[in-house]
Structure 1
């Protein structure tokens, strides 16, 4: 008798088992803190403790080093691309600045001076504002059109990661209390404080359809939520250490979760069932799915063969022709 038609989960499990691969690209002289794809997926950027940002172009399922962006006087702790312009990149640094770069020329085109060592950053969906948080839990909102700082907001509680909602109406903050705090925007009035994790809520991500969001906590749990209902649909429990980074795939069907565990978990959404796991030699603190392909960029807490800090970007994903080899 013929085999039954495979479910999506079974099909993806088989695809990743048979047709996936990992490539490593040593590009930095120190730990990589952040990776992100441009909105078109034609470029990948990585920010490092070595004070630089590396830009890659993408050739099928390979990365090609394009240029190094220099200008920060301290670690590049986080970066993000403009939501709709594939040539504009923002970097946040411990040197108390935010820099805007033109990826075509590799030139810094705008600098915002902030009051502290910056550790997280996000771009508003309309591309007009950038929010950056520092180690003292101060959020700074930069207006790119006016070329000035529009607002500063000091928080009394620990601010871990920040994000606008995909429609820009709300601003989300994961907190040290374990709550997800939701503020109206632009007045930043607290509209809801949702208990989410035991211990700190660390990271947050949305799928591009604004249907699901995921939160990662110090309790080593990943919670998957219905955005409209603000209801927890599932909890992923396969990690044993605090969750440091989350990313939805381009179709919203897969969620990658990273921690100090020596693997990255790939889950089906919304069920939370395991699709595959990527083995890592060290902890992983940053990852990001490609906006159009099953390609995952990530970086680990690397050491080279002389046990010195090293900075590699890794790319994991399906071969481009794997969709034609389905066993379903």
Structure 2
């Protein structure tokens, strides 16, 4: 069965009581009254590709073109100086990384050197390594922490058993496959594709269940609501679509961006969604209404945004340049610290 996402005025509209509208207006005013700060963290003099928080929101990992990842201890109120630990071993750029959802000190990295590595964030040591067939660009954990899915530039999907770090499944697709994700129970697996569709597979069989015609151009990124109600898809058509995960129906689209959407993330409560592209801002919108509550100014296109799983802190990294020398600036930022 194929389902289509509708956009703009076609999207499903839900009437809201006046009290709900007033509450929303009050929340937006509070966002705009409070003075939130972004703080910069220098990773290296080279571009940061990916940022990710651990499960309890105390550590952030960054992956860079310089073939390293770094672990940062982040105090949620921003009062102490962040300390970093370098993870060395890859021989090509670290394009994406993700934390074990059940272990706050284990992080997995995917690299262009065709390897996937599992690291202990306390010691900085690589504890597991798998050599795969292509340049790895996407990685995600199953929510119960038992499996890791990896996608490469050749549109091949590999799923690893975390305990043995050996492949359980390998599948090559004859179309472009971009970001991948499990739903919260782990029985659905989602593929975003260059065809503008989201392929829904059963797990662990990987049998096709549904094809969602989500966008008019390629789908690049996907995020799962931490409450398990929705998923969102970012596309080259500059739109973000929101889907009901039970019915696989498109609820609405977010339309503030004008360039292909590179990265999206839900906050810990599922109330807000952040999206970013080559536009020089990150859009933060209310999930239920689609209304923008805040925009974070940026100096360059963004590669990665991710909300902290416990606090309204948004980490983001992009193609920042040193304004004096016009060279890559290895920096990520965290938005949401309140000014004193």
SS in 1 for 2:98: strand
For 1:10 and 1:92, locate their aligned partners in 2 and report how far apart those are by CA, in whole Å: 42
The reply to whether residue 281 of structure 1 matches residue 299 of structure 2 is yes
Deviations 1:7-66 (A, max 9, x none): 234324433442211111111221111000000001000000011111111123336022
Q: Aligned runs of 1:118-267 on 2, under 5 Å?
A: 118-267=136-285
CA distance in 1: counterparts of 2:268 and 2:228, whole angstroms: 12
Residues 61 and 320, structure 1, Cα contact 8 Å, conserved in 2: no
Counterpart Cα distance in 2 of 1:248 and 1:16: 20
Instruction: Specify the alignment match of 2:73 in structure 1.
Output: 57
TM-score by length of 2: 0.90
In structure 2, the residue matched to 1:326 is: none
Query: What residue is the counterpart of 2:17 in the other structure?
Result: none
> CA offsets, 1:115-169, max 9 Å, x none?
0000000011121111101100011111122331222110111101100111100
Structure 2, unmatched stretches of 5+, are 1-20
What RMSD in Å do the two structures reach over aligned CA positions? 1.6
Which range is displaced more, 310-319 or 37-46?
Answer: 310-319
1:25 pairs with one of 38, 41, 50: 41
Matched, 1:46 2:65: no
CA distance in 1, matches of 2:201, 2:113: 28
The question of 1:313 aligning with 2:332 is answered yes
The answer on whether the counterparts of 1:298 and 1:314 sit within 8 Å (CA) in structure 2 is yes
Change (3 A) 1:244 1:234: same
2:107 pairs, out of 64, 89, 95, with 89
- Provide the C-alpha distance between the structure 1 equivalents of 2:203 and 2:252, rounded to a whole number of angstroms: 28
The count of aligned residue pairs is 318
Q: Which moved further from structure 2: 83-92 or 228-237?
A: 228-237
| Structure-1 separation of matches of 2:299 and 2:88 | 29
DSSP 3-state at the match of 2:74? strand
SS of structure 2 residue aligned to 1:8: helix
